[in-house]
Amino acid sequence: MIVGSRKPIPELKRVLARHKKVLFAGCGTCVTVCLAGGEREVGITAYALRMARKLDGNPLEIEQVTIERQCENEFIQDVAAAVERNEAILSFACGAGVQALAERFPQKPVYAALNTQFLGILEEQAVWTEKCLGCGDCVLSDFGGVCPVTRCAKRMLNGPCGGSTEERCEVADPERPCAWQLIYKRLEAIGQLDNLERVYPAKDWRPSWHAGARKIVREEHRV
């Protein structure tokens, strides 16, 4: 899923300072599951901002909606009337959802309530970890299902850097496991250590975002 976190209230207050009537739009998918931008978080944030603006003597009127999927026009269409009633939109979706709203309603200011962070999984209650950068040329099959592109801080494709300590990565977070320890153990467990004999060529980053925003068209499904 896409994982994000809500921006701090002072930042949201600053962004909305020029408006008196704003639509707060939650999204019902990834950001609901990661407890950042669903109906509940929209409600809590609306309450906090209403209070903050009231204390400033500059009340803010807020209308709240939750769109099932903010990254699809079909669902965005449902809130067109609510958008019309408000001066601006504060979107609690990922960056894609925010931009989808901005494209659909070109005359309305659309602001981001969240910091979109990564593609990840739920490890345990309220803990998410990053697993994929969306590099566009997946190598997981060769590395036992552990992504060196995302989980190795140096994106090493031909073995560890040699800096790990007690199976932990030497870069930044001392709790982060060395991706190459994970890769080795996983390949050992599934009897595919011979995968490591292959010398990986330098990764071609053109399918990733390094070449600019990407686009996928499935001609067979177009109407």
Q: Which residues bind to ligand SF4, rule: CB under 6 A?
A: 132-135, 138-140, 147, 149-150, 152-154, 156, 160-161, 163-164, 169-171, 178-180
**28 vs 95, which CB is nearer to ligand SF4?**
95
**45 vs 116, which CB is nearer to ligand SF4?**
116
b/e for 72-110, b at 16 or more Cβ within 10 A? eeebbeebeeebeebebbbbbbbbbbbbbbbebbeeebb
Q: CA angle, 210 as apex, 176 and 8 as ends, to 5°?
A: 55
**48 vs 138, which CB is nearer to ligand SF4?**
138
The dihedrals phi and psi of 115, each to the nearest 5 degrees, come to: -100, 110
Q: Least distance (Å) from ligand SF4 to the CB of residue 215?
A: 17
Q: Least distance (Å) from ligand SF4 to the CB of residue 33?
A: 19
Q: Which residues are paired to 4 by β-bridges?
A: 116
Q: Least distance (Å) from ligand SF4 to the CB of residue 35?
A: 23
Between the CA of residue 177 and those of 39, 93, 146, 169, 180, what are the distances in Å? 34, 30, 12, 6, 8
**59 vs 163, which CB is nearer to ligand SF4?**
163
**78 vs 167, which CB is nearer to ligand SF4?**
167
Q: Least distance (Å) from ligand SF4 to the CB of residue 73?
A: 26
Q: Least distance (Å) from ligand SF4 to the CB of residue 198?
A: 15
Q: Least distance (Å) from ligand SF4 to the CB of residue 22?
A: 36
Residue 191 φ/ψ region, left for φ over 0, alpha for ψ in the -120 to 50 degree band, beta for the rest? left
Give the Cβ contact number of residue 143 at 10 Å: 25
3-state DSSP assignment of residue 216:
coil
**77 vs 158, which CB is nearer to ligand SF4?**
158
